Amino acid sequence: MTTINEILTLDLKDDIKNVIDLEDWSELEIQQEIESYIVTEGIGRHLYDFTNQYTSNIKETGVWLSGFYGSGKSYFGKMLGYIIDNPMINGTPARERFIPRIKGVSDESLIELAIRKLDATNNRVVFLDVAKQNTDRGLAFTLFANLLKNLGFRDDIYGYMEFDLYLDGKYDDFKAQAKSLEGTDWEELKKSNRQVAKVMRSVFSAMGYSEAEYTDTFNVYTAAISDFSASKFKAELEKYLALKNDETVVFVFDEASEAISQ
């Protein structure tokens, strides 16, 4: 007699996670989440509709996932994010790990074709759980800070300064100056909250800034963060996308109701 265990492509001995965390970036965890995902007929239709529209000329830029608590919104959103971003997960692209999940679903070949059309796009996906974020400066800066972190910068005022140096084409020179002055790579130096302020000031001085000019610059960034708004966030994104004009930036964030309440 054939048992259910023999029919399923899942290992029933595997632990089933109760909560999906958008900010868990462990490759092993992501691999398990992708390879344990069950694509129902309804989810298959949503995947097809979403990926088809994503690769079309549609102008709308927002998608709202609605459902009751425990209905799988976070899981589905995380899967969409990894399908779009397509990072290498333990040596295999995320899409290649996901596509076997649609086996047996109606219109399987059409869904796969729609997913593979994403290969022609260049995407950057930023994941965050709003409930776990410090939103004291507003949702707009929270999203921007997570973009900074995704780009490899700090998620504070010094990361904002890194971002502008990058946009101005001066970031490599900045890092070279930091290495010359401190004997350590900037990527290591900036991990220390104790060192970063001192090093940033020293490097700006080496780049020709007077003490007064650096202080003025620092104050400008401080004020910009204090007054950060949705329009300011849009302006910063436009500057980034002017430099990376082949890239699409996608924010996948959980606990939208938490964001709205704040």
Side chain identity, residue 86: N
Higher pLDDT, 16 or 138: 138
Q: Using alpha carbons, list the distances in angstroms from residue 217 to 21, 211, 232.
A: 37, 10, 18
Query: Band of the pLDDT at 25, cuts 50, 70, 90?
Result: low
What pLDDT does 17 receive? 54
Q: How much of the chain exceeds pLDDT 70, in percent?
A: 88
Asked whether the predicted pLDDT for residue 11 surpasses 60, the reply is no
Note whether 191 and 178 are within 8 A (CB).
Answer: no
3-state secondary structure (DSSP) of residue 116? helix
The first and second tokens of residue 91, run together, are 């040596």
Q: Where are the domains of the chain?
A: 17-120, 146-243
Look at the pTM and tell me if it is higher than 0.75: yes
* DSSP code of residue 251: E
Return the H-helix or E-strand segment holding 199: helix 193-206
Q: Using alpha carbons, list the distances in angstroms from residue 224 to 141, 217, 234.
A: 10, 11, 14
Query: Band of the pLDDT at 135, cuts 50, 70, 90?
Result: confident
CA atoms within 13 Å, Cβ hemisphere of 154: 19
What pLDDT does 4 receive? 61
